[in-house]
C-alpha cells in the first residue's frame, strides 16, 4: 500500500487509521479526513496559482472546485487501490462501501493527512501533487473554467443546430492501478473526429472534446 501511495510510513498506525471508516468503530479516519481536505485544497490551490500566473481569483476558485470535488478524488483513490485496503463495518462491506465515491474520496483525504503528519508538508506535497498534474494540464483556459469541454462543445453545436457528438472507447490498456483510456469524439456536422487519452474515460472524453472545440473555433 505504501508503494502505491508513494510514501513509506514511519508510523504505520497513521495509514491504518486513514483507511478505517467510521462504520468499523474508533479510531477511524474522520479527523484525518478533516485535515486532509484542507491540505488537498492548499496543494491544488498552490499548483493552480503557479499553472495560471495571470488567472483571476474566480477562475482559480472554480478550477480548484473541479479538481477537489468528490467525483474527482474518487478515481484517484481507485488508481491507488485504496478500496482494497479499507476497513469497513459489516453493513458497509455488504453494501459495497469500498466502491462508493464518498467513502473513497474521504479515505484519500485521510491518507493525505496521514502523510502530512508522518513526514511534514514538503513530503506531503511531493506525494500528492502528481495525482493532480494530468487533470491540471487538461483544464481549459481560465476564462472557460466552470463548464467542462464536453458541455462547451455541446453548447457550441446546439447554438448552430448541429447534431451532438458521440464518444467511443477505442482502447483500454495498463495495469489496474495505472489504466489508460483511448477515446474518440465524432461529429457528423461538420464532419470531425478527435481523440483523447487519459487515466480515466471521463478525462479522455474531455480531452477529445477540447480538441474538437479548438478545431471548430479555428475554422470560425
**Helix/strand/coil (H, E, C) string of 173-199?**
ECCHHHCEEEEEEEECCCCEEEEEEEC
Positions in the chain whose pLDDT score sits under 70: 146, 176-177, 220
Is 109 assigned a ligand-binding role in the annotation? yes
Which option is the CATH number for 2-139: 1.10.1520.10, 1.10.287.810, 3.40.50.2020, 3.40.1350.10? 1.10.1520.10
Quick one: pLDDT at residue 183? Answer: 96
CA–CA dist 96, 204 (Å, integer): 27
Q: Which residues pair with 171 in a beta bridge?
A: 182
Same-fold call for 2-139 versus 149-219: no
Q: Which of 196, 205, 41, 220 is nearest to 116 (CA)?
A: 41
Order of strands across the sheet with 166-173? 166-173, 180-187, 192-198
pLDDT score, position 177: 65
d(CA 186, CA 162): 12
Q: What is the pLDDT of residue 118?
A: 97
Which residues are registered as beta bridge partners of 144?
none
Give the Cα separation of 112 and 118 in Å (integer).
Answer: 10
The predicted pLDDT at position 58 comes to 86
Question: What pLDDT is attached to residue 81?
Answer: 93
On whether 106 is known to bind a ligand per the annotation, the reply is yes
The residues facing 193 across adjacent strands are 186
Q: What is the pTM of this model?
A: 0.69
**Domain edges within the chain:** 2-139, 149-219
Which CATH topology does 149-219 take? Double Stranded RNA Binding Domain (3.30.160)
Residue 33, marked binder: yes
Alpha-carbon distance 217 to 156, whole Å?
9
Would you please indicate which residues are annotated as catalytic (active-site) residues?
37, 109
Amino acid at each position: 500500500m505504501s508503494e502505491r501511495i508513494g510514501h513509506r510510513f514511519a508510523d504505520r498506525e497513521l495509514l491504518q487509521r486513514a483507511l478505517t471508516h467510521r462504520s468499523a468503530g474508533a479510531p477511524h479516519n474522520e479527523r484525518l479526513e478533516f485535515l486532509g481536505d484542507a491540505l488537498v485544497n492548499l496543494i491544488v490551490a498552490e499548483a493552480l496559482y503557479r499553472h495560471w500566473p495571470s488567472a483571476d481569483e474566480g477562475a482559480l476558485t472554480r478550477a480548484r472546485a473541479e479538481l477537489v470535488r468528490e467525483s474527482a478524488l474518487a478515481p484517484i483513490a481507485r488508481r491507488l487501490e485504496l478500496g482494497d485496503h479499507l476497513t469497513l463495518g459489516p453493513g458497509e462491506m455488504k453494501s459495497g462501501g469500498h466502491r462508493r465515491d464518498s467513502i473513497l474520496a474521504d479515505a484519500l483525504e485521510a491518507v493525505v493527512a496521514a502523510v502530512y503528519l508522518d513526514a511534514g508538508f514538503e513530503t506531503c506535497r511531493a506525494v500528492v501533487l502528481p495525482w493532480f498534474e494530468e487533470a491540471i494540464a487538461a483544464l481549459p483556459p481560465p476564462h472557460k473554467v466552470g463548464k467542462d469541454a464536453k458541455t462547451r462543445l455541446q453548447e457550441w453545436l446546439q447554438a448552430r443546430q448541429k447534431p451532438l457528438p458521440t464518444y467511443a472507447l477505442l482502447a483500454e490498456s495498463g495495469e489496474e492501478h495505472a489504466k489508460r483510456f483511448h477515446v474518440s469524439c465524432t461529429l457528423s456536422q461538420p464532419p470531425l473526429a478527435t481523440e483523447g487519452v487519459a487515466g480515466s474515460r471521463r478525462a479522455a472524453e474531455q480531452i477529445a472534446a477540447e480538441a474538437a472545440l479548438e478545431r471548430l473555433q479555428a475554422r470560425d
